[in-house]
Amino acid sequence: MQKKWLSLSSEVQNALAEGKPVVALESTIIAHGMPFPQNVETALRVEQVVRDAGAIPATCAVMGGRLTCGLNADQIELLGRGGHQIPKASRRDLAYLLSRGDDGATTVASTMIIAHQAGVRVFATGGIGGVHRGATTTMDISADLPELAQTPVAVVSAGVKSILDLPLTLEYLETQGVPVIGYQTDEFPAFYTRHSGLKVDFRMDSPSEIARMLDAQWSAGLRSGVVVANPVPAEYEADPVMIDRAIAEALAAAEQQGVRGKTITPFLLAFIEQTTGGRSLTTNIELVCNNARLGAEIAGALGRRMN
């Protein structure tokens, strides 16, 4: 894919030229992850969190057939109001949307692609995709995982969405050589909750320590991405029993209604939000903000090492 398809906002372009830290942000969470108007409010709040932590936010999307790194408020509003009418764009969808001049809300995978083309090394999101439950028969594996294996961007998340098969996801990442760092934790977080019973590869307790490893990873020619697992703050952690029950009900509903493919994650998240009376949405918003803050701190530390 050529950079002729890439469009950077003037703010992002100037920040990169001046060596300022930049944090990429995805747009599927705007169009597909939350209802309007909370999606727009959250997107703008997350951008402000990045700014307050000393970095420049670069929300990514496909806009008018361009890979866009750095949306303005009007573009964020357009995606938020469009909701599920905006195509969900992963790697396989990009060329189609570009060829038609269409818009698209970028997933973790496609946001990584845009960030890498733009020269942005750090990306903050809610949770990465993974191996779906039952994948041993369905082969349903998120495109986020092979993207992490081939695209050198650090992805700060609250782990893998807990609707997925966490052990198999970690096995896949290990096979693909993707390091999983636990920020101030030895345990891999489970998105809505802080604990999964699964270990991370490496524990690191400061943004500078993470930046040192990222610098070593990429300067040594190791081309994979890196997962930085950042647990949701304890005060916003969801009740594990409530979440497990909601997930079970959501999976049963998806099976009954025949929900498959790229529509299943938005369906499950919306079902869980409804089942928990909105408490899962509150947790989701707070963990995204927490990841954005850490992403900005890592980007700043990495910039100081590389400039």
pLDDT tens-digit series, residues 170-204: 999 999 999 999 999 999 999 889 999 999 999 99
pLDDT tens-digit series, residues 61-82: 999 999 999 999 999 999 999 9
Residue 108 in this model has a pLDDT that exceeds 90: yes
Please state at what angle helix 73-82 crosses helix 38-52, rounded to 10 degrees: 150
Average pLDDT over residues 75-104: 97
The torsion angle over the Cα atoms of residues 91, 151, 270 and 96, rounded to 10 degrees, is -10
Residue 1 in this model has a pLDDT that exceeds 70: no
Between CA 157 and CA 267 the distance in angstroms is 20
Pick 38 or 114 by higher pLDDT.
Answer: 114
Query: In this predicted structure, what is the pLDDT of residue 2?
Result: 56
Query: In this predicted structure, what is the pLDDT of residue 45?
Result: 98
Length of the chain: 307
pLDDT tens-digit series, residues 279-289: 888 898 999 99
Phi, psi (rounded to 5 degrees) for 208: -65, -35
Can you give the chain as a three-state secondary structure string? CCHHHEEECHHHHHHHHCCCCEEEECCHHHHHHCCCCHHHHHHHHHHHHHHHCCCEEEEEEEECCEEEECCCHHHHHHHHHHHHHCCEECHHHHHHHHHHCCCEEECHHHHHHHHHHHCCCEEECCCECCECCCHHHHCCECCHHHHHHHCCCEEEECEECCCCCHHHHHHHHHHCCCCEEEECCCECCECCECCCCCECCEEECCHHHHHHHHHHHHHCCCCCCEEEECCCCHHHCCCHHHHHHHHHHHHHHHHHHCCCHHHHHHHHHHHHHHHCCCHHHHHHHHHHHHHHHHHHHHHHHHHHHHC
Average pLDDT over residues 135-158: 90
Q: Which of 16-25, 41-50, 128-137, 290-299 has the lowest mean pLDDT?
A: 128-137
Beta-bridge partners for 56:
22
Average pLDDT over residues 215-222: 96
Average pLDDT over residues 207-215: 98
Between CA 53 and CA 249 the distance in angstroms is 38
Domain 3-306 belongs in CATH node 3.40.50.2000: no
Query: In this predicted structure, what is the pLDDT of residue 268?
Result: 74
Between CA 95 and CA 80 the distance in angstroms is 23
Whether 126 contacts 158, CB under 8 Å: yes
Of 47, 147, 161, 297, catalytic: 161
Whether 41 is catalytic:
no
Between CA 52 and CA 187 the distance in angstroms is 28
Pick 295 or 280 by higher pLDDT.
Answer: 295
High-pLDDT (> 90) share of the chain, % = 75
Query: In this predicted structure, what is the pLDDT of residue 135?
Result: 67
Query: In this predicted structure, what is the pLDDT of residue 266?
Result: 73
pLDDT tens-digit series, residues 235-274: 999 888 888 888 788 778 877 888 776 677 777 777 777 7
Between CA 117 and CA 135 the distance in angstroms is 31
High-pLDDT (> 70) share of the chain, % = 97
pTM for the model stands at: 0.92
Query: Before 189, cis peptide (omega within 30)?
Result: no
Pick 255 or 145 by higher pLDDT.
Answer: 145
Beta-bridge partners for 180:
227
Between CA 244 and CA 242 the distance in angstroms is 6
Whether 88 is catalytic:
no
Read off the amino acid at residue 101: G
**For the CA atoms of the chain, what is the radius of gyration?**
18
Query: In this predicted structure, what is the pLDDT of residue 140?
Result: 80
Query: In this predicted structure, what is the pLDDT of residue 296?
Result: 98
